[in-house]
Structure 1
Amino acid sequence: MKKFLVLVLVLSLVLTLVGAASAQGKHFEGIRIRFFPGGSEGDPFASVVYRGAKAAEEDFGCTVEYVFSQWQPDRMVAQFKDAIAAKPDGIAIMGHPGDDALDPLIDEAVAAGIIVTSQNTALPIAEGKYKDRGFGYVGQELYASGLALGQKAIEKFGLKEGDRAMVWGLLSQETRGLRTKGVIDAFEEAKLVVDYIEISPEVNADAPLGTPIVSGYLSSHPDCKIIVTDHGGLTATLETYLKGAGKGPDDVIGIGFDLTAATVEAIRNGFCDLILDQQPYLQGYLPILQICLTKKYGFSGLHIDTGSGFIDADNVEAVAKLAEEGIR
């Protein structure tokens, strides 16, 4: 309830500012921001994050430069260095590289008077250190989200001890991997047999390249009951993966994260059976607002959980149109 009230208050403030802007001109003109949407241009998840940030830019009148990273942590670090050198008023970063890799650069940016905040993957050490200077977080609580999806799948699909699950995730990434760990912990607690596969950098950047991986796995593990894709782009590609492996909509349970137009279609067609939606549009819109509020008014960082709940065939049509518009 507390998290819900925080989000309601933030959105109320947004409406007030947008209303004022319509009457008096743009509210945060002159503020310059570098923003990291995460993936590639056109990536199913990153494109929704981008639309949210772009809407905030248009609503508030700030100037935003967008930096796409193909979900590669090393590239994010290098691009963050470049962003600091450009001396914008604020930088909104994806936290995938983790505190160890990013904290020295965050220290450098803050010392130079640049506001830094994060989205999608939290940076708890930096947030604790610089919250009073506008360092916030907009995204889901990663471990809790993974655990919740795993537990929901066990309940919904009647999974039992000895059932085989493939979990395709990002355990190698310090903080981002917590969501994968949450899924695995839920499955192992229920004594499922878990086969873990790390998402390679190539598949991370271009999800359809993973089709042979799924085909090969299912060929050698015909008893697999469920596949979990801990990545919005991979979840959006579940139908392609399963069809490529010669599977029909009822042969393997497919679950994952994030709502996109492609995922809506996969749910309709029976190839994706359950997702946890983390509302990536908000992960674009609200970090822009955070930086603007801190720059103009000195507000401290806001920690906002955007994890909204589960979507399956029973409720997908309620949000399908917005997903197809790239908003949900």
Structure 2
Amino acid sequence: MPAPKRLLALAVAAPLLLSACTTEGGGGSGGEGSGGAGGGGGDLVFSVITHGSAGDAFWDVVQNGAEKAGDDLGIEVDYQSDGDPQRQAQLIDAAVNQEVDGIVVSLANPDALQDSIEAAVEAGIPVVTINSGGDRSAELGAIGHVGQEEQIAGRGAGEALAGAGAQNVLCVVHEAGNIGLEQRCSGASEGLGTQVTPLQVDVNDLQGAQSAIASQLQGDTGIDAVLTLNSAVAAVAVEAAADAGSEAQVATFDLNEDVISGIQAGDIAFAVDQQQYEQGYLPIVMLKLYAENLNTVGGGQPVLTGPAIVDADNVDEIADLASAGTR
């Protein structure tokens, strides 16, 4: 069943940030999730350290944004990632030891990263947090946060599902301990007006995720919608519904080519897009402004990159951009 067209909130990507881009440069290449240097090779060196898994299309787009900003601004950008919170903390520690000029860090597990982030701040290294954890960012000493407010995004997804007639929603959580994912499901319950049913799966075991979703759909034939929180999981959710003989509609957070194709084919109702390219690009601009002029952005509030809805009404416009690695 197609979702109604719904725009939740446009990204608050301030023109001030983009005006700092004073030189032309090439786009960054997609990464494999482990890391790599990119950017313009200038005097400033910024580290981008995320919790993305190797080969995750979402985080490849974040890396593309960060490296394109480095190219545009003449800054060396070193992108590293590890899905294990302790190893992500170690990457932050290593960046501090290397005396980089700024650090961008995704904050899915604030407690695990707290000591390392505070050590960076104590060393005089400005930190911008991205993606999850915006409510903890200032507390840890970051100069800003770039992302979407996950509770609000979840609420919008729940409202869109309710508008499409859903009443019994399975919310598929793909990373244990990620507070942002928990907030998405909580917000979806608010928007839907009734509690969603959470299901824990592992994004690194998509076959297992497909089996778990199919089993849940077979066990509760009243489920009429599946909300996934990751684009890769969305694709297997479509397969799981077919395996289970379920007519439950599938909706998701985040985009990749499979999700776009699924929306075009009518297999996926909509995707909540947080425009993660901006989560890579804008923090590099923010750190440059801070390094050169002590500017901060956002007035103590997160710089929002989403959410917005991609559905049958606008998916064709987004498809080419996604193929280019910027959506």
**TM-score scaled by length of structure 1:** 0.82
Higher helix share: 1
Q: In 1, distance between residues paired with 2:232 and 2:11?
A: 30
Which residue of structure 1 lines up, in the alignment, with residue 58 of structure 2?
Answer: 45
Q: In 2, distance between residues paired with 1:236 and 1:297?
A: 45
**Equivalent position to 1:158, from 165, 183, 201:** 165
- Map Cα deviations across residues 120-158 of structure 1 (whole Å, 9 max, x no partner): 113434425636xxx211111111110111011101x12
In the alignment, structure 1 segments of 5+ residues that lack a partner are 21-25
In the alignment, structure 2 segments of 5+ residues that lack a partner are 1-8, 26-38
1:314 Cα shift? 2.1
Which residue of structure 2 lines up, in the alignment, with residue 278 of structure 1?
Answer: 274
The range that moved more, 72-81 or 281-290, is: 72-81
Which residue of structure 2 lines up, in the alignment, with residue 116 of structure 1?
Answer: 127
Is 1:138 equivalent to 2:146 in the alignment? yes
Which residue of structure 2 lines up, in the alignment, with residue 287 of structure 1?
Answer: 283
Given that 2:44 and 2:75 are in contact with CA atoms closer than 8 Å, whether structure 1 keeps it comes out as: yes
- Map Cα deviations across residues 82-117 of structure 1 (whole Å, 9 max, x no partner): 33222211110001012x333332221111121111
Counterparts in 2 of 1:67 and 1:171: CA distance versus 1, 3 Å: closer
Which residue of structure 1 lines up, in the alignment, with residue 312 of structure 2?
Answer: 313
Percent identical among aligned pairs is 25
**Equivalent position to 2:13, from 7, 10, 13:** 7
Q: In 2, distance between residues paired with 1:6 and 1:124?
A: 17
Given that 2:229 and 2:252 are in contact with CA atoms closer than 8 Å, whether structure 1 keeps it comes out as: yes
Alignment size in residue pairs: 302
Which residue of structure 1 lines up, in the alignment, with residue 255 of structure 2?
Answer: 259
Is 1:78 equivalent to 2:63 in the alignment? no
Q: In 1, distance between residues paired with 2:259 and 2:198?
A: 22
Q: In 2, distance between residues paired with 1:75 and 1:5?
A: 31
Counterparts in 2 of 1:238 and 1:11: CA distance versus 1, 3 Å: farther
Kindly report the root-mean-square deviation, in angstroms, between the aligned alpha carbons of the 2 structures.
2.7
3-state DSSP class of the match of 2:146?
Answer: strand
- Map Cα deviations across residues 262-300 of structure 1 (whole Å, 9 max, x no partner): 210111222211111100110111111111221122112
Which residue of structure 2 lines up, in the alignment, with residue 23 of structure 1?
Answer: none
1:164 Cα shift? 2.4
Amino acid at match of 2:170: M
Given that 2:213 and 2:237 are in contact with CA atoms closer than 8 Å, whether structure 1 keeps it comes out as: no
Amino acid at match of 1:304: V
**TM-score scaled by length of structure 2:** 0.82
